[in-house]
């Protein structure tokens, strides 16, 4: 699975969406809302990440579950991330265990990477990340739908691999990527869903396939778009290995 883990970041960073001059009212309203919601309204929240990982099959199967949580506060002075005493105690215990046994499972340490400052930015300032994707969006369609039982619209975008380097493209045999964004009447994002399937061949004899799904749910805090939930699912196979992982992150807004 190390082979797949090495490939995924390279492809994930480069998979972009291409531009076509297609316009729709919903698309313009969404872009306007994303510009409006890149504010800096002070925010205080509790964020929890739950992780699940499965590698191998049969006797080689390894499965781990982990969780980590932090308190965050962002204001004009910057972003402050704090850990509870209970959380620090778990981390200390797993670090000591790891020193004694390098193969020991440390699920809290593994989950910690999901709640560091860089991993939290897309949740705390969600408009920026979504805007950067949609600036190069290949808009496909708009339709009426429901979200949480209320009228909404869904904008669909098709992803492509146009921005991959020539070296990266030679590994790719098949790619399919779709983005759906649910918006309110004024264009404010309510949720989004991304699906990607990548398959190919590397080093002549190594075939691989990777799948990724992400689901986001948004809310607004003043002039800031915030993700209150992000669920990521990844799976891959190659070199006779298989693996799956899932991460669920939730954000609960607290009073300042």
- Asked whether the predicted pLDDT for residue 7 surpasses 60, the reply is no
Q: Is the Cβ–Cβ distance between 138 and 19 less than 8 Å? A: yes
User: What's the rounded mean pLDDT across residues 196-202?
Assistant: 76
- Using CB atoms within 10 Å of the CB of residue 213, give its burial: 0 to 12 exposed, 13 to 18 middle, 19+ buried: middle
- Edge to edge, the sheet with strand 150-159 lists 78-82, 62-75, 43-55, 241-253, 224-238, 206-221, 189-202, 172-183, 150-159, 138-147
- Asked whether the predicted pLDDT for residue 22 surpasses 70, the reply is no
- Looking at residue 60, the DSSP 8-state letter turns out to be G
| Top-confidence range, 52-61, 163-172, 211-220 | 211-220
List phi, psi (to 5°) of 131. Answer: -60, -45
Give the pLDDT confidence score for residue 103 in this predicted structure: 79
With 0.85 as the threshold, say if the pTM is over it. no
Give the pLDDT confidence score for residue 63 in this predicted structure: 87
* Three-state secondary-structure class, residue 13: helix
Query: Alpha-carbon distance 132 to 126, whole Å?
Result: 10
Token code pair at residue 184: 């309110």
Give 184's pLDDT tier (boundaries 50, 70, 90): very high
Give 159's pLDDT tier (boundaries 50, 70, 90): confident
């Amino acid at each position: 699975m190390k082979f797949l883990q090495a490939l995924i970041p390279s492809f994930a960073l480069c998979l972009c969406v291409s531009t076509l001059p297609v316009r729709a009212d919903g698309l313009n309203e969404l872009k306007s809302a994303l510009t409006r919601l890149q504010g800096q309204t002070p925010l205080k929240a509790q964020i929890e990440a739950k992780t699940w990982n499965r590698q191998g099959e049969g006797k080689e199967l390894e499965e781990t579950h982990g969780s980590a949580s932090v308190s965050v506060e962002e204001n004009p002075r910057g972003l402050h991330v704090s850990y509870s005493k209970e959380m620090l105690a778990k981390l200390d215990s797993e670090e000591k265990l790891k020193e004694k046994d390098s193969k020991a499972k440390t699920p809290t340490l593994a989950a910690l990477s999901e709640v560091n400052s860089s991993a939290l930015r897309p949740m705390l300032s969600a408009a920026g990340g979504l805007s950067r994707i949609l600036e190069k969006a290949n808009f496909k369609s708009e339709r009426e739908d429901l979200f949480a039982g209320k009228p909404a619209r869904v904008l669909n975008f098709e992803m492509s691999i146009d921005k991959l380097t020539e070296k990266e493209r030679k590994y790719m045999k098949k790619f399919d990527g779709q983005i759906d964004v649910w918006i309110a009447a004024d264009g404010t994002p309510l949720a989004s869903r991304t699906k990607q399937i990548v398959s190919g061949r590397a080093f002549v004899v190594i075939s691989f396939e990777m799948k990724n799904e992400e689901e986001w749910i948004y809310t607004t805090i003043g002039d800031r778009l915030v993700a209150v939930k992000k669920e990521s699912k990844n799976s891959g196979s190659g070199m006779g290995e298989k693996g799956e992982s899932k991460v669920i992150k939730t954000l609960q807004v607290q009073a300042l």
